[in-house]
Amino acid sequence: MWSKIKDQPSVIAKEKQGFSPDSAVLLIAGVFFTLCLILTLHRYFSFYASFDQGIFNQVFWNNLHGRFFQSSLSSSLSTNVVHAGEIPTVFYHRLGQHFTPALLLWLPIYALFPSPATLTVLQVTLITAAGLVLYLLARHYLEHPLAVMITASFYAANAVIGPTLSNFHDISQIPLFVFTLLLAMEKRTWWLFWLMAIFILAVREDAGIGLFGVGFYMIASQRFPRAGFATCILSFGYMLALTNLIMPIFSDDISKRFMLERFGQYADGNEASTLEIIWGMVSNPWRLLVELVTPFDRTIRYLIGQWLPLAFIPALAPASWAIAGFPLLKLFLGQGESVLAITIRYALTVVPGLFYGAILWWSQHPQSLKPRFRRFWIGCICVSLLFSFTSNPNRTFYFLIPDSVKPWVYISLPQQWQHVAQIRPLLAQIPPDASVATTTYIVPHLSSRREILRLPQLELKNDARQIIKVDYALADIWQLQQYQAAFKADRNYLRDLVKQVNQLTSNGEYGIIDFADGTILLKKTANSNPQAIAAWNRYQQQLQPILGTG
């Protein structure tokens, strides 16, 4: 099959010159962009964007002020803090956790609109643009109806919708860059191919795995073997050099935290480099095989979820396995709940290979698109959309779908927006240059500053290398109260925060300066507002059934 593709001209060669996307595709893309933008902006402004949105916004904000890739929020997750018990620092370089220079491409846009919401708009735009490039890629091989179906499948994929509706993440760049690279390969526009290869590698330290898959396909298909070898050597060599030589300059996180969290089952000891993990895999093939197929049920469900919007064609397409196989291998060999979650950002790394492989398969089997199969495919797209909605990715549809039925956990739209109206006056009392600690869902809204932490952390090391306690602490306990009945982590967090607030106010370190609708604002060394204290004490009475249970 691949040998036929090698010299096959485009089936629309006469139409390629001056071709513009079909109005139907623009309509589909427009609907996707509009709906996703409304939903993600609503998620942010109604205080459901969470910690990662704050991390990326602080990184962009620091980049804008010349402190490239520094973040106190990222520092709070570093191995020095989590494992060694050190104090978070404002000058911590996030490049030791994830090497993401490609984010600088979007800094001019952020400079025009410096806000966490800008990142939300950017993410939806990147994914929407990726679908349009996919359409051009499909039209290189396929007639109009098939190309439209493939593009519609992309916009309906759970592995696309879920990550698009999430906090901003660096992987949102991957589909656009990879589809552009593949289109450049088909057009033999090699300067663009290599530019996209560089961009892909710059997304993050593991993005080269997907690029390696493209190189492997170029070799295996015998279409561009020399360019394929160069791509494989570039991607593999870059990843090894980056993770073993460059990233450790910034911090020990890659060897002491991230490698162990994802691939610790292949290593011995408290740290491991990528080379040691690879050797651990190669030297124990039986363990590798077990990890590859287990848990068997979740692995199969994950593959079905990825194949569903394309009517399972990628399961038959050799090119899909060649390119997407390497990102899949990374996920299947890893550990943790998130690796096989199709609505989380990692799922996007698999998408480009699956769709490109499906395009090539259809170019060899155009006669297979019979009316009965077309109806089946449309049904698959509809089911994928249904699953994307019912999975409630990142609580985007919290106002429509309860988080739990028994016990009942549901927050209505008026209820949440009424709560938001109570929070905003408290936010307004915090100066833009003040240091602050706050709860998870408020972090993004306060992250455009140098010094910020997530409660219960209060101490950080500032630019003067002095350990300080933050000026303000803001805790949304009401939000935790709503979810604690079904989620133990929220219940424990609520109890810890109530205990912390009472300790800080009783010893005089902080004063309660305002309280509204279960949200409390503390200020260092301030005198407490009597009315705020009274409101806080009354609210604690409501919490007694929670605070007093085990």
Instruction: Give me the pLDDT at residue 14, please.
Output: 40
Cβ pair 257, 298 in contact under 8 A:
no
Residue type, position 26, single letter? L
pLDDT band at residue 301 using 50, 70 and 90 as cut-offs? very high
Give pLDDT tens digits for 331-346.
998 887 788 999 999 9
Cβ pair 367, 138 in contact under 8 A:
no
pLDDT band at residue 5 using 50, 70 and 90 as cut-offs? low
Instruction: Give me the pLDDT at residue 549, please.
Output: 60
Give pLDDT tens digits for 69-111.
999 999 999 999 998 999 999 999 999 999 999 999 999 999 9
Give pLDDT tens digits for 484-507.
999 999 999 999 999 999 999 999
Between the CA of residue 191 and those of 130, 212, 394, what are the distances in Å? 19, 18, 38
Average pLDDT across the chain, whole number: 93
Give pLDDT tens digits for 115-163.
999 999 999 999 999 999 999 999 999 998 899 999 999 999 999 999 9
For residue 432, the SS3 value is: coil
Question: Is residue 402 over pLDDT 90?
Answer: yes
Lowest mean pLDDT among 16-25, 420-429, 470-479: 16-25
pLDDT band at residue 10 using 50, 70 and 90 as cut-offs? very low
Instruction: Give me the pLDDT at residue 50, please.
Output: 95
pLDDT band at residue 459 using 50, 70 and 90 as cut-offs? very high
How far apart are the C-alpha atoms of 502 and 513, rounded to whole Å?
A: 14
Query: Crossing angle of helices 208-220/351-364, nearest 10°?
Result: 20
Question: Average pLDDT of 394-419?
Answer: 95
How many other C-beta atoms are found inside a 10 Å radius of the C-beta of residue 150?
Answer: 27
How far apart are the C-alpha atoms of 45 and 49, rounded to whole Å?
A: 8
Question: Is residue 35 over pLDDT 60?
Answer: yes
Cα four-point dihedral sign 463, 248, 54, 496: negative
How far apart are the C-alpha atoms of 529 and 538, rounded to whole Å?
A: 14
Give pLDDT tens digits for 214-255.
999 999 999 999 999 999 999 999 999 999 999 999 999 888
Question: Average pLDDT of 37-53?
Answer: 97
* Closest C-alpha to 358, from 334, 390, 403, 323: 323
How far apart are the C-alpha atoms of 316 and 6, rounded to whole Å?
A: 19
How far apart are the C-alpha atoms of 60 and 168, rounded to whole Å?
A: 11
pLDDT band at residue 21 using 50, 70 and 90 as cut-offs? low
* Closest C-alpha to 540, from 510, 520, 513: 520
Backbone phi and psi for residue 165, each to the nearest 5 degrees, phi listed first: -85, 15
Question: Average pLDDT of 277-301?
Answer: 86
Cα four-point dihedral sign 17, 25, 6, 374: negative
